[in-house]
Structure 1
Amino acid sequence: MVRLTQLLFAFVALLFLFGCTAHVPLDDASATASGIQELVVANNKFGLDLYDKLVENDDGNVFFSPYSISTALAMTYEGARGQTAQEMQSVFYFPTESSVRQPNAAAIYNSINAPDAEYALSTANALWAQQDYQFIDEYLNTVERYYGGSAKSVDFKTKTEEARQTINEWVSERTNDKIPELFESGSLNPLSRLVLTNAVYFKGSWETEFDPDLTGDEEFFVDDDTTVQAPMMRQTGREAEFAYAETDDVQVLELPYKGDDLSMILLLPKNNMSALEESLTIENIELWKTQLLDQRVDVYIPKFTFKTSYGLKDTLRDMGMEIAFTENADFSGMDGTDQLLIQAIVHKAFVEVNEEGTEAAAATGVIVGTTSIPVQIPEFRADHPFLFFIQQKETGNMLFMGKVVDPTK
């Protein structure tokens, strides 16, 4: 059926540090350890699936937040019904029971916002609704209760640009200005009706920081034909002890951040990146992590900073989420009508790794409208492409995931 109006629902999720803002804990009274783990596994499986798709047509640096994207689409999923919901669930592996999905999502939110941490990590949500448009109270209440998305009124109809700037400023502030313009000019219009924002930002210092005086340019082998000079950080000597493991195909290194709640896992292929990527499964990652042992390791990794931006509509469609983008989409759980569909999904991310630690941020926008022990001392020399992810150590929840192909770009 031909749609007569064009409602726009934009949904944003970011991974970011949230200044000094106080967070009210969400309702996780019914959360369980097994329920939290079910959501973590869902997030990580989706992250690996998405990674496979992203690298099919991109041989450069990769960086995104599985948690950000999963959270954005989880809030969208709360309003999906019928086959639309089924396809979203098949791609994101969401628990179908709301009694499992919702309180455990709240528990993960609360863990990210844990007070008095030795690092900066927090997440927040906001719902920006057209001031005269009616959404179902149950949907709004669910988003606020379990995702922290409180509703704020804006005027997309007559003050579209003002609304866009207000939302972008909110996002920028909560990503330490790393995602300054999530919504570009023209992305919202007078028929926009709802924007949901989720922001997460991280900044942490290494448990053992690298000495800047030891950093120096060295060759980094992008591929068989390309070499660049990259600033290589190093930790060697008796103090260089880290959790390390290796197989015939990969070296695995864990670098903890201060506070010991978060860490970076680096996967360095011994042969070629393609072989490592083919073996990249939840089971193998967990196996490699169980093999990690604290030991002396000479570590060499490059400094790098880069930004990424992805349009995910076609990617998610290829992964099996098709109906949500068509006129047959059913998001009636949001407003009680059959007029909403997802028009676009955009994800932006930022990462910087240096001697002190890591800073990372990510944002996702979903636009919905009508019509993320050797005998000798081993050497971990990351002088060729490698994979990495930043995780919550207790659960293994992947907050960010990336691939460094060229640290100079």
Structure 2
Amino acid sequence: TPGFLMLSRYEKSALFFYNENDGQLGILSLVASDPDLQAQVVAAQGDFGFRLFSELLGEETGNVALSPFGLFLPLAVTCAGACGETQKSMALALGLGGLGLREVQEGHAALLRNLHEEDPGVLLHRACALWVRQGLPVREEFLSESRKGYGAEVRVLDINHPGALEVVNGWVREHTKGAIEQILERIDPETLVIVTSAVFFQGTWTVAFDREKTRPGPFFLPGGGTKTCPFMTRSGVYRYLKGEDFQAVAIPYGREERFSMYLFLPDPDVDLEDFIRSLSWERWEAWMQRFREREGTVSLPRFRLAYGAKELRDVLKRLGMGPALTPGANFCNLLEGEAYISSVVHRAFVEVREEGTEAAAASAVVVSRGMGETFTMVVNRPFFFAIRDDRTGALLFLGGVFDPEDVI
């Protein structure tokens, strides 16, 4: 007999069956609740971000920055349009594991609802858009799920119009408050669909650094040289962690202290690249549980970091996404006919001052045819940082600063 049963002691939704002959009650399946799915999506984003960041270090000689949250979004949308081995390779590369696409969409929708809650002193804006080639028959179910699960707006684009490129770049400019001028340099005539995402974060420190206390000081570069930078200094109570080969501090934003910048300073004999390559989501989460309030002093260089636009196809291939990035890919849930991902571009910007932080990121996926003792933490050598939503655990931005190139 079909029916529905709710048991208050179960922490997850469940589907039951009842046998009228013997009165036996059984469980057919357990369905993860929104908080469970949200946590799994956040973990996938973080895991993907750390793996991608490590790969980018091998290609760069300077500063690196990316938004795991911002880049994961358009790739997850595109993954929902894939089929077969193409979809499997994308899901594995994104760290989705055994999650089904519907579960990913529900988990991401729950995360977006959570992030929408306001925190005085913090502005977090995100946007996603699907640019569909004019006249292209895209499957309506794909468009509907993209709107529902990822908050994507669907726009028809005349690819061949001279102003098409400016329309897409103008959208990016608008949703990053001008921090990122453009994401694409050109639009190929064979382009079928473009998925763009934008993230803009503006947060004032819960307790600002006193500009009167900012002083010039040496920053020790990886090659052995030094650079004079303006160092902001503040004493107070922070969440702090002393690891085996690093020290770390969390500096909160806003009145609610929901968002924080995490600064990781490896010991002088530890290479920043080696430290970053050792990061994993499991290790990160374990560290988050070990932060404790302590009184101390933090000195941090004022800096601006601009990264990109970076073509990520080769890096994503190394992460296992190759089948989606080559002709012959299968995107049958998106449209009929041949299509593959011809370009994945990411750009990020982070600026840190006495008053707070401004950060922005934009991504485009193009689918084409075919409290103990006090501490002192002087961040005067290469360091790693992350901007994190402490309520959901979502990693909004990651960065590695080897040289504060743009002193402000």
TM bucket normalised to smaller: 0.7 to 0.9
Report how far residue 321 of structure 1 moved.
1.0
Q: 1:11 — aligned with what?
A: none
Task: Tell me which of 118, 123, 131 is aligned to 2:134.
Answer: 131
Q: 1:183 — aligned with what?
A: 184
Give the whole-Å Cα distance in 2 for the aligned partners of 1:80 and 1:54: 25
Structure 1 residues 408 and 96 mapped into 2: Cα distance closer, same or farther (>3 Å)?
same
- Residue 318 (1) aligns with residue 336 (2): no
Letter in 1 for 2:42: V
Q: 1:392 — aligned with what?
A: 389
Q: 1:358 — aligned with what?
A: 357
Structure 1 residues 331 and 287 mapped into 2: Cα distance closer, same or farther (>3 Å)?
same
TM-score (norm 1): 0.87
Task: Tell me which of 262, 267, 271 is aligned to 1:265.
Answer: 262
Letter in 2 for 1:298: T
Report how far residue 116 of structure 1 moved.
6.0
Give the whole-Å Cα distance in 1 for the aligned partners of 2:152 and 2:76: 12
CA contact (8 A) 2:350 2:357 kept: yes
- Residue 382 (1) aligns with residue 385 (2): no
Give the whole-Å Cα distance in 2 for the aligned partners of 1:351 and 1:308: 9
* 270-279 or 219-228, larger mean C-alpha shift: 270-279
Give the whole-Å Cα distance in 2 for the aligned partners of 1:283 and 1:96: 18
Which whole-Å deviations, capped at 9, do the CAs of 1:75-114 have from their partners, x for residues lacking one? 0001011001111111101253133211111111222222
CA contact (8 A) 2:191 2:366 kept: no
Letter in 2 for 1:340: A
Structure 1 residues 183 and 245 mapped into 2: Cα distance closer, same or farther (>3 Å)?
same
* Residue ranges of structure 1 left out of the alignment (5+ in a row): 1-29
Structure 1 residues 357 and 57 mapped into 2: Cα distance closer, same or farther (>3 Å)?
same
Q: 1:402 — aligned with what?
A: 399
Which whole-Å deviations, capped at 9, do the CAs of 1:16-53 have from their partners, x for residues lacking one? xxxxxxxxxxxxxx852111110011010011101110
1:5-154 matches, cutoff 5 A: 32-94=34-96, 96-115=99-118, 117-154=120-157
Report how far residue 155 of structure 1 moved.
1.5
Q: 1:245 — aligned with what?
A: 241
Give the whole-Å Cα distance in 1 for the aligned partners of 2:119 and 2:246: 36
Letter in 2 for 1:336: E
Give the whole-Å Cα distance in 2 for the aligned partners of 1:117 and 1:333: 41
Which whole-Å deviations, capped at 9, do the CAs of 1:128-180 have from their partners, x for residues lacking one? 222321111111111111112122222123x1x21211121111011011111
Structure 1 residues 335 and 260 mapped into 2: Cα distance closer, same or farther (>3 Å)?
same
Which whole-Å deviations, capped at 9, do the CAs of 1:200-254 have from their partners, x for residues lacking one? 2100000110011111210000125211111111013xxx111111023110100
Give the whole-Å Cα distance in 1 for the aligned partners of 2:394 and 2:294: 25
Q: 1:174 — aligned with what?
A: 175
Give the whole-Å Cα distance in 1 for the aligned partners of 2:102 and 2:154: 23
TM-score (norm 2): 0.87
CA contact (8 A) 1:31 1:107 kept: no
Report how far residue 290 of structure 1 moved.
1.7
Structure 1 residues 297 and 287 mapped into 2: Cα distance closer, same or farther (>3 Å)?
same
CA contact (8 A) 2:192 2:369 kept: no
Letter in 2 for 1:65: S
Give the whole-Å Cα distance in 2 for the aligned partners of 1:404 and 1:76: 31
CA contact (8 A) 2:190 2:369 kept: no
Which whole-Å deviations, capped at 9, do the CAs of 1:285-312 have from their partners, x for residues lacking one? 2222222111211110111102101210
CA contact (8 A) 2:328 2:339 kept: no
Report how far residue 115 of structure 1 moved.
4.1
Q: 1:15 — aligned with what?
A: none
Give the whole-Å Cα distance in 2 for the aligned partners of 1:311 and 1:167: 17
1:298-313 matches, cutoff 5 A: 298-309=297-308, 310-313=310-313
Structure scoring higher RCO (CA < 8 A, sep ≥ 6) equals: 1
Structure 1 residues 164 and 302 mapped into 2: Cα distance closer, same or farther (>3 Å)?
same
Letter in 2 for 1:165: E
Letter in 2 for 1:163: A
Report how far residue 365 of structure 1 moved.
1.4
Identity %: 31
SS at structure 1 position matched to 2:398: strand
Give the whole-Å Cα distance in 2 for the aligned partners of 1:301 and 1:361: 20
Q: 1:205 — aligned with what?
A: 204
Give the whole-Å Cα distance in 2 for the aligned partners of 1:315 and 1:278: 15
CA contact (8 A) 2:351 2:358 kept: yes
CA contact (8 A) 1:61 1:403 kept: yes
Aligned residues: 371
Structure 1 residues 194 and 117 mapped into 2: Cα distance closer, same or farther (>3 Å)?
farther
CA contact (8 A) 1:113 1:123 kept: no
Q: 2:6 — aligned with what?
A: none
1:280-359 matches, cutoff 5 A: 280-309=279-308, 310-337=310-337, 339-359=338-358
Structure 1 residues 374 and 276 mapped into 2: Cα distance closer, same or farther (>3 Å)?
farther
SS at structure 2 position matched to 1:59: coil
Give the whole-Å Cα distance in 1 for the aligned partners of 2:85 and 2:222: 44
Give the whole-Å Cα distance in 2 for the aligned partners of 1:276 and 1:189: 39
Report how far residue 361 of structure 1 moved.
0.5
Task: Tell me which of 251, 255, 264 is aligned to 2:251.
Answer: 255
Q: Which has the larger radius of gyration?
A: 2
